[in-house]
Amino acid sequence: MAEPTSLREWMNSLPDTCIFGVNNLGKITLWNCATESMTGYLSNEILLRPFSSILTDGSEVVIEKMLSLKSASTCVVSFKTVQRGAIKVRIESSVRQDPQNGSFLGLLCIGKEIIDTIDTSSSTENMDQEVTDLKEGINDLNIMGQFLKETRMLIDESNSPMFGVDTDGLINEWNDKMAEITGCTKHESRALNFLDTFVMPQFQPDARLIFKNALQGHCTSFELETQDADGYPVYLLVNVSTRRNSQGCVTGLFCIAEDVTESAQHERAVANAARELRQLVDTANVPIFG
């Protein structure tokens, strides 16, 4: 399975540092731009291939040992390349663990091509610094991963209905409360158009305009009517916020709602009673004045 986009972006922000990952089955799961340049293999053609398939001169055994030991280590291996034949690469590996249970996921490696063996002290010194930077980056990613995990739990378990859509209005976020209200599970909601599926037809034009304005940065709140699993009306007061990626580009909307069904139904009942009373007064056969 491909790694999170944030991790790929971080790796590719280091154009001179070859970073790649191997899972506990020995298959390639990470392959940054610098590693593409060094080997000639593009990430879309190398991912999930056995790492041993691009190694030569007995290096396959070295990698198998590293994976079996499940520990960080340093070694020199021979890579096959697309155009340059075999090259020697010094690898410094770090262990990747599941943040939830600590199980071994594989190795995250930084590689440096050995161009000559006359004076390697400078190269080794530079690589040691790169390894230190890499480990600090991995630690930052682990912290970020824990933060994202806690944020995900907060969204999923919140008592407030929360959902998100992409720029086409397709659902990509759906918490437990939304599932409870609508009867539509998170899995079932994926890629459904929120407005077409969950907003009553008479409210869709206004909701589309609000979503369109929000995608342009004009965030607001509005009330919409949807239905629960039994077809009864549900009124939500929705606060719409723009979602952006790390480059600042709009990627969709994130909405936090409040279930105002009880108060909305009360207001509508009062309004209906007032309207009926007005009609009774206007159509009465006896003079009524005040």
88: number of Cβ within 10 Å: 15
| Residue indicated by tokens 């077809």 | 231
Give the pLDDT confidence score for residue 5 in this predicted structure.
46
Helix count and strand count (H, E) for the chain: 10, 11
Q: In Å, how far are 3, 6, 149 from 144, measured between CA atoms?
A: 14, 10, 9
C-alpha Rg value of the chain to the nearest Å: 29
Give the pLDDT confidence score for residue 226 in this predicted structure.
82
Give the pLDDT confidence score for residue 122 in this predicted structure.
47
What does the pLDDT profile of the chain (290 residues) look like in tens digits? 344 445 566 666 666 678 888 888 989 988 888 889 889 999 888 889 999 899 988 888 888 888 888 877 778 889 999 888 889 888 877 788 776 677 888 888 878 887 754 444 445 555 555 555 555 555 555 555 565 566 677 778 788 888 999 999 999 999 998 998 888 998 899 889 999 998 888 888 988 998 999 898 887 778 888 877 777 888 888 888 888 876 778 889 988 888 888 765 545 555 555 565 566 556 656 555 55
Give the pLDDT confidence score for residue 159 in this predicted structure.
81
Q: Which residues on adjacent β-strands are paired with residue 163?
A: 174, 255
Give the pLDDT confidence score for residue 18 in this predicted structure.
80
Q: Which residues on adjacent β-strands are paired with residue 174?
A: 163
Residue 76 in tokens: 């020199």
Give the pLDDT confidence score for residue 4 in this predicted structure.
44
φ/ψ (deg, to 5) at 260: -115, 25
Contacts of 155 (CB under 8 A, 6+ apart): 162, 173, 175
Give pTM, 2 decimals: 0.47
